[in-house]
Structure formats: structure tokens, C-alpha cells
């Protein structure tokens, strides 16, 4: 008898679980609150330009070279005689822009000569960072690389990145490039509160992409996300028999204290009514705040680990798209605007969106897609943080912060056709504050213990979303996909199902550190500190003597 699975939520986690289950012969239905699938990764129609609608997204999507899970799934979505993974294009450059100095344009392909290696290290570490501080930072990275898994979990999970790299005592350049750097700009995590475990692991994996000739540093899709990826995926899943139901919000997950007994789904539209859904298994694939809304005492008794979601922190990371009469492409890759108060990053999309039909648009020739990762610092126009601005003020402020970096010649008012702020950002007239319907999980110090496993204590409930414990350990499409694989594997194990388990890969670490990691494991069992901490103590002495 075919077993039924109800997947609640149709983001990357939900669709990935549907994909794996459908391939293994399950009868799958996905219920999604929105009219489109893809969750935070989805794109949607923006403002009109002639007869067409401009392409809009929560924010641009990037796929760092170390991603394996989500790209593996993409390689199993057939499209145009190939697969969706063929639609990823590699970036060539990274722009590190500052207003009070020279911008740095870094090539991102792996260095091939000693000179290129030296230049790459200098650019990565920021050439303004004093040499002694850069050496200290390099030492910290070596400490991480040679630390055992256990130390990562038991020690680095409980230390902030800011404290681990001793950013407080360092120069402004050190704080900007190595403290905030990718941390805040690319993954919206404040280094002062985010765990060394999460940031250190992602930092080292990103670095791999910048030095390893086998890996691309970064990839982007060759069109808006739904057009290039999600729509072909949904078509593929439907062909495989998955029932994908949009405009269907889950309003209750019923449990009897031991098992999930059903769910209530409210359908949108004039004939919208409530439907009682029952299945053999349930995969909960909604974000952590939505899990919190659905928690009842009975559900919590059935799956106590779910209550951990109440202790998780979320940050804001939302996009603004500027539609331009003339294409502006200052870099073939990401631009990181280091000293913009709102921690802006941007991608000029046209150079990558080869499959997009630009001719269908009346005026627009280019899209500058910007992400705002800092919502609590005052801006340069209104002197207010983004959280206190209206939608119009946010758009103006972002435009001006970009212009402060890229110049008013490149970005002048006459080139602007339209703009679009992420619709997840709302404005509460009563309180005069901004709301956000698409907050992003941030892995704060010690948060790992609150994050549930994909397999819950409840025998018919599994979790497939970016807050679940995974090797990836960062709220991302990769994490959501890995969580889905773990959820499906747990379900198969519970059934003793004969089908092949989904592949789940650990991060790759340079083999040369393996003996040191093993040695550190032993050292930690014996209660010893990592030898790298000696260098940290030496730094204190050095700082007091050489740089009093």
C-alpha cells in the first residue's frame, strides 16, 4: 500500500522533501500558504514595465562553491534537455567597496602563482589590516582548522565570533573586514552575538572557494529564481505525481500527545474553506516562527524538541531591486559595501540573467538587486534605522547609500525606472514601525541546543526547514535541503523502507589537518585547551608590550 505524506510548507525544505519522497514512491501532497512555491527563495512579479511585470525577489540568491545538497537536487530536475544545475553561472569577481578609500576588485578564480596567492591573501584579509593583526587572525583560522568536531560543538558553539577573533581590541580595518566582513553582509549575522561554530565553519568553507581550484567561489542562477529553478522544479514534481496545493495555509497541527492526528488547512479565495488533512506521515516545512504559532500542548508533548524554536533568534535581511534604464555592472559578481551603515550587498543581474527576456520590458535594461542586512543603524539621509523608516524612506536611503559608493554619475535619478522593496517588509501605521514577514534565523551563541533534529520524538512527524540541526548549520537553501534529506532518511528508517537513503555530505576539510584534529580530540578529552589558545595568550602579552 502506498503511504501518504503531507508536507506543510512549500519552500526549499518542503519541495526538497517532496522530491526525495516522490522518487521513492510515496504519495505526497504539499500545502503552501502563498500563491507561489519557493518560500524565501521565490521570485515574483514586481512593478509593471509596459505589458510585462519586472522580476522581483526577496533578495538575490547565491550558491557558494561548497554547497552540495541543494545543487545535487538541482541536478535531478530535468529542463531543456539538461538539468537546472546547468543554469548556475559562476561569478568572476568580488567588489569590496568603501567610501573613504580605494575599492578593491578581487578576481575569485583560484590563484595559480605565488604572486596570485599573496595578492589573494592580502585582499581577503584586507590590505588595510595591520600585519600583526592579520597574522593573529590567520592563527585563529589555523586553530579552527585543527580543532576536533567535539571542540567545535562544546566550545566554539558557546563563544561569539567577535570574542574569538578578539575584534574589540583590534583596528577599525580588522573589525570591518574580518569581524563584520562576510558575516554580516552575506549572512546577516552580527559577529558579536553569532557563534564561532557557525561563522568559523562558513568562513572557512567560503575561503575554500577562493583558493581551491576544484571549487567555484560562487554561483548565481541565469534568470529570476522561479523562472530558472522553482517553476521547472514544481513542473517536475507534478509530473512525478506530487500534489502541490498553493494558497493553502496550515492553521492547526493536531496531536494526541503522542502522534500527529491531522492538520487543518485553510484555502484562500472566494470559495476558501477549511480542509481536514490526514496522512500517514507529516513533514513540517514552515519557518521557526510559524512552528511556534502552530505549537499546542499536545503537539509539544508529542515532540518536546519543537519547543526549542521559541528560543531562536531571527535577523532581518531583505532586498530592494532598482530597475534601470541603462544597465550598470560595476562588478561581475557580488559587491559588498563594507562601510554602508545598512550593510548593503548587491548584484547587477543582467550580466547573469541570460535566459531572461529583456525585450519584453518597455524601459528597463538592467536590475540592481540589493540586500539590506543591518536594520538598526541610522542611515545617511534620514538619520534613522531602517526599522523606523517608511517603505519609501528605505528605498531612498538604500539608493543614496549605493550612490555614496558607486558615484552619482553611474546611478542618477534619470536612469531609475522603478524600484521594489521586498513585500515581506510591511509598515504598521499604528506603531509607526516596520514589520517583517520573512525573518531569517541567526545562529546565536549557544543556539544549537534549541534547534531540533529533523527526526522528532513524535513517530510520524519530521522537520524540513533551515532551523533544523544540520552539518550546514546556517539558515540557507543548502541547510533547508539538507534538513529535508535528513527528514526523509528518518522516515525511511522508521518504516524500515528498503529504498536507498538520501545522500548527506559532511563539510570537507583539508586532509592535512586530519591528524591535528584527531590529536585535539584526544587533548580535549583530557581537558587540555587547544594549543592555538597559547597564541591568543601570547597576543595579550605582545599587545601589552609592543602596542601598549
Ligand X SMILES: Cc1cc2nc3c(=O)[nH]c(=O)nc-3n(C[C@H](O)[C@H](O)[C@H](O)COP(=O)(O)OP(=O)(O)OC[C@H]3O[C@@H](n4cnc5c(N)ncnc54)[C@H](O)[C@@H]3O)c2cc1C
Per CB under 6 A, residues contacting ligand X are 8-14, 31-34, 39-41, 58-59, 61-62, 249-250, 285-287, 290, 317-319, 371, 438, 440, 465-466, 475-478, 480
Long-range contacts of 120-127, Cβ-Cβ distance < 8 Å, separation of 24 or more? 120/210, 120/211, 123/96, 124/207, 124/210, 125/177, 125/178, 126/96, 126/173, 126/174, 126/176, 126/177, 126/178
* DSSP symbols for 80-129: TTEEGGGGEEE--EEEEE-SSS--EEEE-SPP-SHHHHHHHHHHHH-TTS
Secondary structure (3-state) at 440: strand
Cell of 508: 570537507
Q: Which residue number has the CB closest to ligand X?
A: 11
Nearer to ligand X, 324 or 440 (CB): 440
Cβ of residue 87: shortest distance to ligand X, in angstroms? 15
The alpha-helical segments, DSSP class H, found in 363-452 are 391-406
Task: Write down the residue that cell numbers 540592481 correspond to.
Answer: 368
Cβ of residue 472: shortest distance to ligand X, in angstroms? 9
Nearer to ligand X, 39 or 232 (CB): 39
Cβ of residue 310: shortest distance to ligand X, in angstroms? 16
b (16+ CB within 10 A) / e for 13-40:
bbbbbbbbbbebebbbbbbbbbebbbbb
Nearer to ligand X, 60 or 323 (CB): 60
Cβ of residue 306: shortest distance to ligand X, in angstroms? 14
Cβ of residue 136: shortest distance to ligand X, in angstroms? 30
Contact 367, 350 (CB under 8 A): yes
Cβ of residue 44: shortest distance to ligand X, in angstroms? 12
Cell of 197: 561554530
Cβ of residue 98: shortest distance to ligand X, in angstroms? 23
Nearer to ligand X, 337 or 539 (CB): 337
Nearer to ligand X, 273 or 430 (CB): 273
Cβ of residue 327: shortest distance to ligand X, in angstroms? 21
Torsion sign across C-alpha atoms 207, 533, 507, 225: negative
Secondary structure (3-state) at 370: strand
Nearer to ligand X, 140 or 314 (CB): 314
Nearer to ligand X, 381 or 424 (CB): 424
Beta strands in 382-520 (DSSP E): 416-421, 425-428, 433-436, 440-442, 461-463
Cell of 251: 492553521
Which residues, including other chains, have CB under 8 Å from residue 203's CB and lie 6 or more apart?
141, 182, 183
Rounded CA separation 99/224 (Å): 30
Cβ of residue 251: shortest distance to ligand X, in angstroms? 7
Cell of 1: 500500500
Nearer to ligand X, 328 or 440 (CB): 440
Nearer to ligand X, 156 or 229 (CB): 229
Which residues, including other chains, have CB under 8 Å from residue 99's CB and lie 6 or more apart?
339, 340, 404, 405
Nearer to ligand X, 97 or 285 (CB): 285
Rounded CA separation 60/221 (Å): 9
- Picking from 417, 271, 400, the residue whose alpha carbon sits closest to that of residue 341 is 400
Cβ of residue 280: shortest distance to ligand X, in angstroms? 19
Cβ of residue 102: shortest distance to ligand X, in angstroms? 27
| Angstrom distances, CA of residue 114 to CA of 117, 167, 313, 395 | 5, 29, 43, 44
Nearer to ligand X, 250 or 491 (CB): 250
Amino acid at each position: 500500500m502506498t503511504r501518504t505524506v503531507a508536507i506543510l510548507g512549500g519552500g526549499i525544505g518542503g519541495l526538497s522533501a517532496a522530491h526525495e519522497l516522490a522518487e521513492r514512491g510515496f504519495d505526497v501532497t504539499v500545502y503552501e500558504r502563498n500563491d507561489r512555491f519557493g518560500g524565501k527563495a521565490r521570485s515574483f512579479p514586481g512593478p509593471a514595465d509596459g505589458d510585462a511585470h519586472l522580476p522581483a525577489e526577496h533578495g538575490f540568491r547565491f550558491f557558494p562553491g561548497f554547497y552540495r545538497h541543494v545543487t545535487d537536487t538541482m541536478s535531478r530536475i530535468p529542463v531543456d534537455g539538461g538539468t537546472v544545475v546547468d543554469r548556475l553561472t559562476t561569478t568572476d569577481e568580488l567588489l569590496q567597496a568603501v567610501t573613504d578609500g580605494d575599492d578593491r576588485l578581487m578576481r575569485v578564480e583560484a590563484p595559480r602563482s605565488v604572486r596570485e596567492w599573496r595578492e589573494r591573501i592580502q585582499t581577503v584579509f584586507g590590505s588595510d589590516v595591520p600585519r600583526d593583526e592579520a597574522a593573529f587572525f590567520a592563527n585563529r583560522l589555523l586553530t579552527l582548522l585543527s580543532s576536533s568536531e567535539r571542540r567545535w560543538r562544546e566550545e566554539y558553539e558557546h563563544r561569539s565570533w567577535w570574542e574569538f577573533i578578539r575584534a574589540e581590541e583590534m583596528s577599525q580595518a580588522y573589525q570591518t573586514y574580518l569581524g563584520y566582513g562576510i558575516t554580516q553582509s552575506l549572512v546577516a549575522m552580527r559577529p558579536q552575538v553569532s557563534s564561532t561554530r557557525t561563522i568559523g565553519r562558513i568562513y572557512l568553507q567560503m575561503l575554500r572557494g577562493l583558493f581551491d581550484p576544484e571549487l567555484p567561489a560562487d554561483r548565481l542562477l541565469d534568470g529570476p529564481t522561479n523562472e530558472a529553478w522553482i517553476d521547472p522544479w514544481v513542473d517536475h514534481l507534478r509530473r512525478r505525481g506530487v500534489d502541490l496545493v498553493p494558497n493553502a495555509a496550515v492553521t492547526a497541527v493536531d496531536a494526541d500527545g503522542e502522534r500527529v492526528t491531522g492538520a487543518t488547512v485553510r484555502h484562500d479565495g472566494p470559495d476558501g474553506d477549511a480542509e481536514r488533512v490526514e496522512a500517514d506521515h507529516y513533514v513540517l516545512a514552515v519557518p521557526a516562527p510559524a512552528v511556534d504559532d502552530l505549537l499546542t500542548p499536545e503537539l509539544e508533548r508529542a515532540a518536546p524538541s519543537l519547543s526549542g524554536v521559541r528560543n531562536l533568534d531571527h535577523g532581518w535581511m531583505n532586498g530592494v531591486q532598482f530597475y534601470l534604464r541603462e544597465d550598470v555592472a560595476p562588478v561581475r559578481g557580488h559587491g559588498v559595501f563594507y562601510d554602508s551603515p545598512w550593510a548593503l550587498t548587491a548584484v547587477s543581474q543582467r550580466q547573469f540573467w541570460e535566459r531572461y527576456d529583456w525585450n519584453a520590458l518597455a524601459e528597463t535594461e538592467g536590475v540592481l538587486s540589493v540586500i539590506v542586512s543591518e536594520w538598526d543603524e541610522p542611515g545617511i539621509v534620514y538619520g534613522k534605522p531602517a526599522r523606523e523608516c517608511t517603505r519609501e524612506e528605505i528605498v531612498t536611503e538604500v539608493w543614496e547609500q549605493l550612490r555614496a559608493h558607486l558615484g552619482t554619475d553611474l546611478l542618477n535619478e534619470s536612469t531609475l525606472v522603478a524600484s521594489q522593496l521586498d513585500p515581506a517588509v510591511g509598515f504598521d501605521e499604528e506603531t509607526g514601525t516596520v514589520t517583517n514577514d520573512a525573518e531569517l534565523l541567526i545562529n546565536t551563541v549557544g543556539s544549537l541546543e534549541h534547534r531540533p533534529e529533523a527526526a522528532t520524538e513524535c513517530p510520524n512527524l519530521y522537520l524540513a526547514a533551515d532551523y533544523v540541526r544540520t552539518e550546514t548549520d546556517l539558515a540557507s537553501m543548502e541547510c533547508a535541503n539538507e534538513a529535508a534529506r535528513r527528514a526523509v532518511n528518518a522516515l525511511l528508517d522508521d518504516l524500515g523502507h528498503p529504498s536507498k537513503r538520501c545522500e548527506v555530505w559532511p563539510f570537507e576539510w583539508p586532509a592535512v589537518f586530519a591528524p591535528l584534529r584527531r590529536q585535539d580530540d584526544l587533548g580535549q578529552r583530557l581537558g587540555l585547551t587547544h594549543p592555538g589558545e597559547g597564541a591568543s595568550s601570547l597576543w595579550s602579552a605582545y599587545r601589552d608590550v609592543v602596542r601598549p
